[in-house]
Structure 1
Amino acid sequence: MSSKTSLPMTAAALSSGWLVLPAAAQSLETVRVRSVVDGDTFWADLNDRPTRFRLAYVDAPELTQGRWGRLSQEALQKLLPPGSLVQVDTLYITPEGLHIAEVYNADGLVNLEMLRQGQAVVYERFLQGDSRERYLEAQGVAQAARRGFWQQNQPVMPWEFREAALQVSAFAGPQVLDGSFLRENPAAAAGVGIATVVVMVGLSKLLWKKPSQERVSLRQLERDLKQLQRSLTTTLASRKQLERKYSQLLQKAEEWFVRAQEATQHNQDELARQALVQRNQHLSAAEAVRHSLEQVEAQVVALREGISRLESQIAIAKLERERNT
């Protein structure tokens, strides 16, 4: 085990509101948890900015995946309670600003603990290098003990569930959302993610049918790929707007809380009460936007996996064309 996983984080250091890293661990960053989205994603303050983190090498059941998604979310909330300080080792930052990281609380590596509890599974398509053995070993512990997710006889993997959900969404029918409505109702912007998938009506037959069912022309495959890529671009833009709105609402809530504290110090009870009401309203709005972000994020993942699948089919089609020429 690396020195990072054994890095001491005492309760006193965590509760004090700050944490000093030893010289050997300067690659780690300390963040304060804001909220847990699901079993593998959370928001935290990094350099005083709300930042979204995803646990590296693991995948958790979706919130819509029966009770398993809820149990996974609750497990991560216990490991990363709001307001707590944790350390993150960011392995990769996506173009959208999502930090893929190994996360450490006072007891060790949270990624592995979620696997040991059976509340997440190894995301093998991204697992590589020295991490492979210890992550698979942690998952094996949960499987052998039939913990959490592994209590099921035939569990549906999270990525399989997302693919199936995308297939259903593609046949859900067109959903038209007026631009002014989205501007006035930021939380409703979750529908943008669904709307972008609707362009896949008929295309999902291509993505999930067996290759032997029908031969599709290379030109048609390339047209379908461009359509998916445009949908992804639209969904990413919507997600960025929601993230900006979420950050703004949290900042406003913090400002109203400071005003309430100042009013209380000056014995202005009515002003303090009004400030707290404003703070709670902004927090409620932020929670609605966060929920929308979860839905849009699921659509982004599904679209990307669909694009990857199409790119593979295009590569195969090109090879076949070269063989026949």
Structure 2
Amino acid sequence: MVLPWVPNISAISAQSTETEICEVRSIYDGDTMTVKCNGERKKIRLYCIDSPEMKQRPWGKESRDYLRVITPTRVKVIEHGRDRYGRTIGEVWTADGDEIQENLNLAMVWAGRAVVYPRYCREAEYFTAEKNAAAIGSGVWEKEGDWQRPWVYRHHN
């Protein structure tokens, strides 16, 4: 699936360590999914982004549901290491055979369903995507409400 609002980015980050084709098993929230790669289950924490917590209503559920809609059953995962909980940090891409199509992490930011996690991201295209999503009022930027960046919400709750 080609996402019309996301630029076609074919370059893979030089920081990546491993690339695998995986089957999506479940999507817990807007930045975490479980996949099965080469017979091994992996919990993936999406690189560079932070989505609203499920208790941040209505944004958490909307973020999770959006990721579920745009994610095909098979994806390519480009690993960027592990987080402190042992999850694989990864960029998740749609894939057509061996050809990488769209970066779902970046698509979440473009759609305003996640924000850039600046503590863990230095990729300019993510910051550009967030700025554009905010400018056009996409996702978390479209409604008035008690919106907080996810890391601020977690710190206070």
TM-score, normalised via structure 2 length: 0.82
Seen in structure 2, the aligned counterparts of structure 1 residues 135 and 150 have a Cα distance that, compared at 3 Å, is same
Residue among 82, 85, 102 paired with 1:108: 102
Where 1:66 maps in the other structure, the secondary structure is coil
Question: How many residues in Structure 1 have an aligned counterpart in Structure 2?
Answer: 141
Measured in 2, the distance between the counterparts of 1:3 and 1:123 equals: 21
Q: Retained in 2: the 8 A contact 1:36–1:80?
A: no
- What are the residue-to-residue correspondences of 1:51-200 with 2, within 5 Å? 51-81=42-72, 84-94=73-83, 96-106=85-95, 107-128=101-122, 131=123, 133-153=124-144, 155-165=147-157
Residue among 31, 34, 37 paired with 1:43: 34
Which stretches in structure 2 are left out of the alignment for 5+ residues? Answer: 1-8, 96-100
Which residue of structure 1 lines up, in the alignment, with residue 98 of structure 2?
A: none
Measured in 2, the distance between the counterparts of 1:114 and 1:152 equals: 17
Which residue of structure 2 lines up, in the alignment, with residue 28 of structure 1?
A: 19
Name the aligned partner's letter for residue 3 of structure 1.
A
Which residue of structure 2 lines up, in the alignment, with residue 299 of structure 1?
A: none
Deviation at 1:58, TM superposition (A): 0.4
* Residues 284-312 of structure 1, C-alpha deviations (whole Å, 9 max, x = no match): xxxxxxxxxxxxxxxxxxxxxxxxxxxxx
Indicate the structure with greater helix content.
Answer: 1
Q: Retained in 2: the 8 A contact 1:40–1:60?
A: yes
* Residues 30-69 of structure 1, C-alpha deviations (whole Å, 9 max, x = no match): 1100000000000000221221001111000001111100
Measured in 2, the distance between the counterparts of 1:42 and 1:94 equals: 14
Identity %: 33
Residue among 3, 11, 18 paired with 1:3: 11
Indicate the structure with greater strand content.
Answer: 2
Deviation at 1:93, TM superposition (A): 1.6
- What are the residue-to-residue correspondences of 1:192-211 with 2, within 5 Å? none
Where 1:135 maps in the other structure, the secondary structure is helix
Deviation at 1:4, TM superposition (A): 3.6
TM-score, normalised via structure 1 length: 0.41
Deviation at 1:78, TM superposition (A): 1.1
Where 1:108 maps in the other structure, the secondary structure is strand
Which residue of structure 2 lines up, in the alignment, with residue 279 of structure 1?
A: none
- Structure 1 or 2, whichever has the larger Rg, is 1
